[in-house]
Structures are given as C-alpha cells and as structure tokens.
Amino acid sequence: MLRFLNIYIPPRLVKTILLSLLVMFLLSLGGTLLGIKYLSQDLPSLDALQTIEPSVKTMIFAANGDTLREFYTENRTIVSLSRIPVSLQQAVISVEDRRFHQHYGIDLRRLVGVIWINLTTSRSPGGSTLTQQLARNLFPKLLPSQKRITRKFREWMVAAQIESIYTKDEILAMYLNQIYLGKGSYGVQAAAHTFFDRNVWELDPAECTMIAGMIQLPERYSPFRHLDRAYSRRATVLETMIKAGYLTRDEAEVIGATEVHPVAGSAGSAASAGFAAYFVEEVRKVLEKDYGATKLYKEGLRVWTTLNPQYQRWMEEALETHLVTEETERDYPMTRARFDSLTTVGERPEKIEYLQGAALLEDVRTGAILGMVGGRSFTDYKWNMTTQSTRQPGSIFKPFVYLTALQNGYIPCSILMDTPFVLDTGVSLWRPKNFSGRFKGPMTLRYALSRSVNTPTAKLYLDFGLAPVLENVQKLGVTTPMPRVPSLFLGAGEVKLREVVAAYSAFANHGVYVKQHLITRVESAHGEILYQVRIEQREALEPAEAYMMTNLLGTTLREGTGVSARWRGFTKTGAGKTGTTNESTNAWFCGFTPSFCGGIWVGFDQALPMGRGATGARMALPIWANFMGKITDKKGDEPFIRPPGIVEETICLRSGMLATSECDSIASEVFLPDNFPQDICDLHGGQLHDFQGLDKDFQTLDSDDDEF
C-alpha cells in the first residue's frame, strides 16, 4: 500500500498505470519507427548522399579555345566555393537562411516562428533551410515541391543526413552550384554567363546581390524581363545583409545605388545561332557513340576539336553568298529566301527544294577537319552532305584514272586521241562524249586532264581496265562501293565529299593518306584525359607519284578548267580539279595547297538539273577560291616540294618526244624517275638543244577548255 500526499493508491492501480505508460511508449516508439520506415521509402541511400554529383554540361571547344556548343540536361558549370565572391555567399545566406551556420539542417527556431506566423496571419513564409532546398534540388522526384506534411518530414530526414556527411562549406558550394536561376541556367556560374556574360568571380557586389535575389522567383526577378523588380528585390537582399551583420548601412547604400547592366551571354552567341552546326553534330554523334548519352549530357565532358572558327566563317559566307547569287541569276522557282518566308508564315514546304551546297576543309598533314559546311541550313535539313550524302563525282574522279595511267607507263606528254569512240560493254554500246560536243584530235595527257576531256580518258579503259583504278581508289581511302563499269572512268558511281577531300589530301601530302578526325582531346569534368588523338597515316602512293599528280592538277588551276580561280580570289600555289555530271545534276571542285585541301559540292537534294552552264567551274570553284584565297593570304604562299629523282626534260607538245630546235610547241615537263622520253622528236627535225631559260609553264596548243 502506497501513500501520495496522504492519498491511498492501491498497488494494483500503480502497476496498471505503469504498464499503460509502457505500452503507450512502446506503441509510440513503434509508430515512430514505422513512420520513419514509411517516410524513408525510396529516399537516397547513404552511399548516394556521399557521392552527390550534380548534372554538369559538356563543353565543345574549337581549336583556338572558343566555345562552340554546350550539351546538357541542365546548363551548369561547377565552380569551387573559393571562386565564388564572398559578397554572393553572404547575400545568399542572409536572404535564404540567416542561421545557416548554427543549425543542423533544420532550423527549429525559424520553424516555430513560421508556424506562428501561419497561424496568426494570412502570410505563408517559407521555413526551408539552405540544406532543405539543396535536398529538394538534388532529388526532385523523391521530394516533389507540393506542400505536404509527409514531404516536409522526408525533406528533414534527407537534410539531416546531408548535414551529417558534409561540412557547411561543402553544402554551401553544392547549393550555389545547384540552384536554378532562370533562362535555363543552373548554378551561379551559369547565371553569371547568362545574365552578365562573365565568370562569377568577375562579378561586383551589385551583380552578386542581384543574383542572390533571383533565387526566390527567378523569372519574376529576371534582370532581362523585369529590371525594376530585380532592383527592388536586391534592396531586400541588402537589408537582410545589414541585419545579418555582413554590411553596414553605408556600404549597402553604395551597392544599392550601383546600376547593373545585364548582357546576354552564350545564349546570344554564334554557337546557339547555328554556327558550325553540321560540324558540332558530327562531334556529338561521335561522343554519344563512344561515351554514351549519360556522360555526354550529364557528366560534363570537356571536348577540344579541330575546327578553326575563322576558316569556318569564311567557308559558310562564301558558300551562301555564291549560292544566293546563282539562285537569283537562274531564277529558280524555289530559293532559300522563299523557303524561309513560307516557313515564317506557317507554310513550310515538305521537301527541301532550294539549291544546296557543302564544303569541307582538311589539314593535309594531320587529317584534322578545319571546317565543315554540311548544307545551307541545319534547321531546315540535318542531313550532312559532306559525310552522309553520296553523289556522282563526274570529272572529279578522273585524277584516279590518270594516276593509274602514270603507273602503267604513260607520261604527261603521252599523246592521247580525242576522237569518236564506241565500246561494247556486253550489255550495251557505250559512246562517251565530250562536254563541248566536239573532238580535238591528238593532245597530251596533261592537256586532256587539265581540260577534263572525256573521250581520251575513256579510251584508257582499253589499256589497263578497272582493277588498278579501283585499287588506287581504295588505297586513297574511298570506301563507298564503286560500280564495275567502264563509265567509272568518267565518274559513274557515287562518292562522299569527305572521301574526295581525303584522297586529294594524299596527293598534297607526298602520297601519305591520313585518317580524318574532328576531336583532339576529351577530358572528364575532373580533368581526367579520356581521349587524346593519335594521327593515323599510311603510305598510299609513292612520293614521286603524288608529286606528278600534284603537278598535273596544278595545270588545271593555271590554264585548265580551274583557271577562273585566279580572278575569284585564289592567287597562290595550288592544284585541283573540277567535276560536272550529266545534265549538271552535280557540280564539284576539290583543290589543295601544300597545307590545306578543300572540297565543294553543289546541287539539289534530289538529283535534278541545275540548268545551262552549271559546271563545277561555275557552281563550285568560286566558293573554293573565295575562302581558300583568304586562308592562303593569311598563311602565305607555299611551294610543292619536288621529291628526289623527278626528271625534267624539254619536250615537243605535238609528238610527246624530246624537243628539237625546229619544234614549234615546246614545254618543260616532269617525269617519274624510271619513265621519261628517250627519243628525239621525229615530226620537226633539227638538233636536240638545251633550252635554257624556257618558261616552265606549258606553252599550250589552244585554250578551248572542255569543262568550263
């Protein structure tokens, strides 16, 4: 029997009360544990919290370090806390969570105050700490923004775990790199570039406090859309900083009186407007194939490419300017300007029917792609006509035939016959015709190639056939299957522009074929080198053979179908070849210097005629001459280096033999070491003389060019 304040309490009642309290405690504990278990369902594990890695954007850089493009699901660039201005850190803490350094993820004092305000007034202020906001931003699917008590409990649990793992500085750094600040920018570094076009560490206190004020409602306080509201919100931030002891009243007034001038950053750059769009898309496809979409869009690769921005601009401008001129002069029913106007009014045509063009520029020694124009508008048509389209090459294929001829005993002054020719292919009769419709009789091999004469080229088929030509084509990197028909000698079949440029580059590079590449280095977001380019090359031709082809194709620019390059902007040492297919459905030019090789293709997406006179010399060559002229003016003139063993003799252009004092058409000619003329001209008589001071350029018989 017990007495309490002289009141008798039966022992049995005491036992019952104690037992009830124990049961209530156990029930409460069990309920709490069950509640915690229920609320913690699907919350991030401890391992996940220990390895928090915000989504980071991939940066694509040009060869000179300029940013070409960014790939991301969230536009974010991670910076360390030491690079974020102290004024920005203090502004964020004061306006968002003044007791940040005193609490452990949940600010109980602030929470009680918020509850009291909610109960006694119509206002509903937020009570989330920086850590709670960080938890919501890191795990938006697990902690949705709806105002529910269960979500708030889950948020507290995650915040408490974050506080137990990370220091305050680490939490603040994650928060400042994670928060959304409008215009697609996540984190203060992305916001600094978006709104002020500078790095965050370059911002002054007036700009820092404005960014801090945007956190609450980024779109409402955007300095782009509502500068007056941004100023008003900044004044609020400054007041909180005074109360927090970060600023004196005088310091705050100075900052508050400072004007801020928002400047559009990367969103207004040439990159977002489509600059080098086809090149960047090729880079993107390589990265996604090699590293996967997650690394590309979320893990922040750093990618250095081969693109030269200045060359790219010259290429884009040259191609568009020339094609606009051709559209105007030829009065096509559909032009790019008309297509754009129809698109603007919501009547976009189903097909891309305006004139198209493509250009590719390669460093002949390294295989680096310095510029790429895959079409006139990536927005209109994403098919890359330098890497994906296969088109008939026409006469641009002929150098492969003439290379084979040199390897089979022909010499530059071999006399070929431009006369009617019929070949029974076993299926039909093939009657090759010249572009001019005329036949000129005997001519040298050099003349036939530089003027792109069809009939003598076709007759070479009778001598060595298809097999050695196809072998050379494969050695020079053309992988597109070629048809095994005699008309291949005149450019039947189809090739890609990138293949033509790579093959011609081997002529310029002393016979060495180099694999093309777009990317020089790839790093992870932490600076780990994932890829470093290695130049892949192999000998495709003998250096002497490559030089002979370079020398022959140089005549095309000096006096053949490419002679107009001289008055269209290109005046330096170079070589190249025009190409035109039947009915002018494709126009080509590919030309090179000792350092660069550039190729051009012009035509419609569907193989339709471009009209009268739409040759490679008119439709494609002017584009090449325009941008290559600027590039070589900047680079300076370079000679093609003659390899040892090349023989030089003075020959008669009418007989192809060693010239005499009586020959009326002579030239200095070069030959392979083991293949040059031994006999004296038997057409004119006279004595063999040493022609000192003879002009090394060819003295031609006439200039009635075939493809011009």
How are beta strands 75-76 and 185-186 bridged, if at all? parallel
Last residue of a domain, one of 268, 294, 315: 268
Whether residue 150 lies inside any domain: the answer is yes
Q: What is the CATH number of the domain that holds 199?
A: 1.10.3810.10
Give the torsion sign (CA, 484, 489, 492, 495): positive
Note the pLDDT of residue 488.
95
Residue 598 near residue 298 (C-beta atoms within 8 A): no
Whether residue 136 lies inside any domain: the answer is yes
Q: For residue 358, which phi and psi values (nearest 5 degrees)? A: -145, 150
Last residue of a domain, one of 239, 268, 297: 268
Residue 610 near residue 602 (C-beta atoms within 8 A): yes
Q: At what angle do helices 86-96 and 130-138 cross, to 10 degrees?
A: 100
Whether residue 475 lies inside any domain: the answer is yes
Last residue of a domain, one of 268, 294, 316: 268
**From CA 273, how far away is CA 313, in angstroms rounded?**
13
- The average confidence (pLDDT) of the chain is 86
**How many domains in the chain?**
3
Name 648's bridge partners: 670
C-beta contacts of 183-186 below 8 A and 24+ residues apart: 183/218, 183/222, 183/224, 183/267, 184/75, 184/267, 185/75, 185/76, 186/54, 186/55, 186/74, 186/75, 186/76
Note the pLDDT of residue 135.
80
**From CA 256, how far away is CA 248, in angstroms rounded?**
12
Residues (pLDDT < 50) of the chain are 1, 29, 32-33, 35-39, 266-273, 692-705, 708
**From CA 534, how far away is CA 355, in angstroms rounded?**
38
Instruction: Write down the residue that tokens 């004119």 correspond to.
Output: 684
Note the pLDDT of residue 55.
75
Phi-psi region of 389 (alpha: psi -120 to 50; beta: other; left: phi over 0): beta
User: What is the span of the domain harbouring residue 6?
Assistant: 2-39
Are 31 and 144 part of one and the same domain?
Answer: no
Are 87 and 147 part of one and the same domain?
Answer: yes
Tokens of 283: 């880079």
Note the pLDDT of residue 74.
80
Are 30 and 157 part of one and the same domain?
Answer: no
Residues 488-502 as b/e (b if ≥16 CB within 10 A, e otherwise) read bbbbbbebbbbbbbb
Are 621 and 508 part of one and the same domain?
Answer: yes
Are 398 and 532 part of one and the same domain?
Answer: yes
Are 15 and 151 part of one and the same domain?
Answer: no
Are 33 and 141 part of one and the same domain?
Answer: no
**From CA 540, how far away is CA 521, in angstroms rounded?**
27
Whether residue 428 lies inside any domain: the answer is yes
Tokens of 368: 């680096």
Note the pLDDT of residue 427.
84
**Residues contacting residue 45 through CB under 8 Å, at least 6 positions apart:** none
**From CA 42, how far away is CA 575, in angstroms rounded?**
67
Q: What is the DSSP string of 656-704?
A: SSB-BTT-SSEEEEEEBTTB---SBPSSS---B---TT--SS---S---
Residue 183 near residue 222 (C-beta atoms within 8 A): yes
Name 361's bridge partners: 371, 598
Note the pLDDT of residue 5.
53
Q: What is the CATH number of the domain that holds 557?
A: 3.40.710.10
Nearest to 406 by CA among 510, 551, 505, 576: 551
**From CA 507, how far away is CA 529, in angstroms rounded?**
34
Residue 605 near residue 339 (C-beta atoms within 8 A): no
Whether residue 243 lies inside any domain: the answer is yes
Are 31 and 119 part of one and the same domain?
Answer: no
**From CA 233, how far away is CA 356, in angstroms rounded?**
51
Give the torsion sign (CA, 135, 140, 141, 147): positive
Are 6 and 108 part of one and the same domain?
Answer: no
Strands (E), 267-368: 302-305, 356-363
Q: For residue 102, which phi and psi values (nearest 5 degrees)? A: -105, -25
Are 12 and 133 part of one and the same domain?
Answer: no
Residue 398 near residue 619 (C-beta atoms within 8 A): no
Residue 698 near residue 555 (C-beta atoms within 8 A): yes
Three-state secondary structure call for residue 420: coil
Whether residue 29 lies inside any domain: the answer is yes
Tokens of 110: 């602030």
